[in-house]
Structure 1
């Protein structure tokens, strides 16, 4: 089938390339995205004022599409903050510290704990939760702070966030841009997340053991003194008995959520809603126990603080998502029915045209999507490039005739692993700050394991597409 590419297609392609170039140069893409939306609006409607309207309407469309993701992250942060400040989170994790006797045990126990908590709380809250409690324990058995930060990066910002199986924030954005279901994307991403996780963490572990043995890595006395105690603002508000009760109730409620998800077949937005609703009720219960008569006001303040965090994180994502949504179903929803006759959407049209002129295959598609995803992660967000990764995956999947879900998963892995908090200095700051280490040194430590994992995972992806 021959596709007649028109001005809209070339404009979209041009701005996609511009966005990639801007990201490579580590500059902000918001202005470019707004300009692209504006020009698409003018060209499609032949109206200046409608082009101006398109910018605002595309933002509304993107926010509506992303609001569930923004809200769940905001609620999780609100809940995890009060759990941390009251010391409940410390009680929740303390049983695991009894098993940490060697650097090897510290590596895998902290890593697995970080991964599991990140699935439910997301890595940013989990970093504070894990770092405050487990860092002193790890250093006592000979594991340096830089290694603890690396562990939290790889298992949390890497494995947990790149898959995001529970909250499903990242898959929602990528799947929407690729035009596939969230469940389909998650199913396709599982083998790739496993391969990436195993290769990356094992490589990092081998390097760490070698450096510990040679003396290149060691615990400094000043690190132990600096990281020994993390003050909790509300630590005296609850009795030890109350903290222990909540420390049991919270994981039980989330474990119950997981059981319900499997038994009721909840996926995507339904699964997110269950986790979010549970987090809200946990926040309310703890607030009433801690604040008594001030609970009504404190619940509101906690939710507002979480929303501020959520919109601060997703602020740079909205313009990028707004532009790339115009490549799919968002075009008609935002601008109207101005696409060329017989068009299946800008991205689909480009994919069909590409299929007619370029001999694509699974190997080329896999390498391209990992590369594109990784490039989009250079802005240090991880999320801002997910829409682009999904759109490119849809284009290549259409051209190849198969493997859209796998290609989308590869793009998501590249974007999250690079930009989500493992290889970009300003993205690893949360873990670096908690552990008191240099973010540039941390990214250098992460580089070889992450790049090794991306190469191996891409090769595996070639055979799956």
Structure 2
């Protein structure tokens, strides 16, 4: 082995285990991460003031690394609010309703539409964008509200969010923790995302059809009558025009990303600029007074949402950045000569002491990812998945991107809004169903999907 492990390595490993334990206990990990940064800095520098400064430096480093991701999500949420208030979203979705002719096809139509919209708007805003419009149509053709919630949930908070191919929020976080390019995580995640998605949604559909035929699930007639009684909203020419322009602009973004080979920060910047353009244009056309002030109000709403979601992520990311590239900027040059970084050093040591193989690595990443999702965020712990993916990749000399993608998928499917009841509230609320019942319905399909995806991953490493 090229380097002896020091007290810094063991303290870092100890705090990783503590963070996992705290997540298992369903408690917040912020305090543990802050103490971990302080303890490592104090041990490395023997200076109380330097250790305290390292906490702040860690937060600054994490915010700097995550800021493009946070910013584009804030802007997308702000844009989704104005699209909802102006009626543009309703107009965009209305033609899709013509395809919904029975409960079976409706499940797949709602799911696929939700997946596509979630790639560009993120799932929580996506639920608001399509749920209120498509729910009454689904009820009329015989798909109960619980089936609608399952479709939006599994395709949006499951498939779309776990891959996050367009906005690239999730892969940006895991890639930075694993110290690999975002493009590698996205490429590695594509087959895993779709294996997980196909297995989960097909099993969920089969169970749903079984219960519909048995009469266990039925459309709530009271809910149908209430929703059917809502008068259709008038559509102005500007709304119709925007309903065509918005998807066209995003389609042009995709073409530009593919033709110009834009990934990572460049793709995020293009998407963010387009989002701001749509936000401003829609606000100017829809609102008749105080247009400039209204643009600012929408931006504030978007930033409130973004920082509420990413607030818990920042201290966790700061701790895991210590494991690799961040330690020099957060604490200073404190590692022994020849060190490859704390995580790399631990990976090399692990390879020399534990008979690690692709099977053990894949199962471990799935379990770790699922544990990090127990807080119901899906994002707060994916830095840990990236860090451990890097650790195991170093130990088995390859497969870092695939392991990182697997941990990301497990974390987001569990915590991003398909199994943890309090993370299911957006879809459950818009459909008027119990989030605990929705979580129970999702449990078996998601667990079987994780098992199949983990086995599939073993053959890719």
Q: TM-score normalised by the shorter chain: which range applies? A: over 0.9
Q: 1:257-336 counterparts in 2 under 5 A? A: 257-336=253-332
Q: 3-state DSSP class of the match of 1:265? A: coil
What is the TM-score of this pair, normalised by structure 2?
0.98
Partners of 1:227 and 1:435 within 8 A in 2: no
Check the 8 A contact 1:185/1:408 in 2, yes or no. Answer: yes
**Alpha-carbon contact 2:2-2:338 (below 8 Å) kept:** no
Note the aligned Cα RMSD (angstroms). 1.3
Deviations 1:169-188 (CA, angstroms, capped at 9, x unpaired):
10000001001111111111
Secondary structure of the structure 1 residue equivalent to 2:340: coil
State the Cα distance separating 1:107 from its structure 2 match: 0.4
1:130 aligns with: 130
- Distance in structure 1 (CA, Å) of the matches to 2:64 and 2:222: 48
Contact conserved, 1:366 with 1:458, CA < 8 A, in 2? yes
- Contact conserved, 1:2 with 1:353, CA < 8 A, in 2? no
Structure 1 position 456, deviation (Å): 0.2
| Structural mapping, 1:127-276, within 5 Å | 127-228=127-228, 239-276=235-272
Q: Flag the 1:132–1:349 CA change in 2: closer, same or farther, 3 A.
A: same
Q: Please show how residues 76-87 of structure 1 align to structure 2 within 5 Å.
A: 76-87=76-87
Shift of 1:231: 9.8
Q: Could you tell me which runs of 5 or more consecutive residues in structure 1 were left unpaired when the two chains were aligned.
A: none
User: When the two structures are aligned, how many residues end up with a matched partner?
Assistant: 461
- 1:434 counterpart = 2:450: no
Q: Are positions 1:412 and 2:408 aligned together?
A: yes
Q: Which runs of 5+ in 2 are unaligned?
A: none
Q: Is the 8 A contact 2:90 2:133 kept in 1?
A: yes
Aligned twin of 2:10: 10
How far the C-alpha of 1:301 sits from its partner, in A, is 1.1
TM-score by length of structure 1 reads: 0.97
Are residues 1:383 and 2:366 paired?
no
Q: Distance in 2 between matches of 1:173 and 1:231?
A: 44
Q: CA deviation at 1:305?
A: 1.1
TM-fit CA distance, 1:2: 4.0
1:444 matches 2:446: no
Q: Is the 8 A contact 1:19 1:33 kept in 2?
A: yes
- Determine the C-alpha separation between the residues in 2 that align with 1:288 and 1:244: 15
After the TM superposition, list the runs of 4 or more consecutive aligned residues in structure 1 that deviate by more than 4 angstroms.
Answer: 226-232
Q: Deviations over 1:263-311 (max 9, x none)?
A: 0000011111111110100010011112244111111111111011100
Measured in 2, the distance between the counterparts of 1:355 and 1:226 equals 62
Matched with 2:359 is 363
Specify the alignment match of 1:35 in structure 2.
35
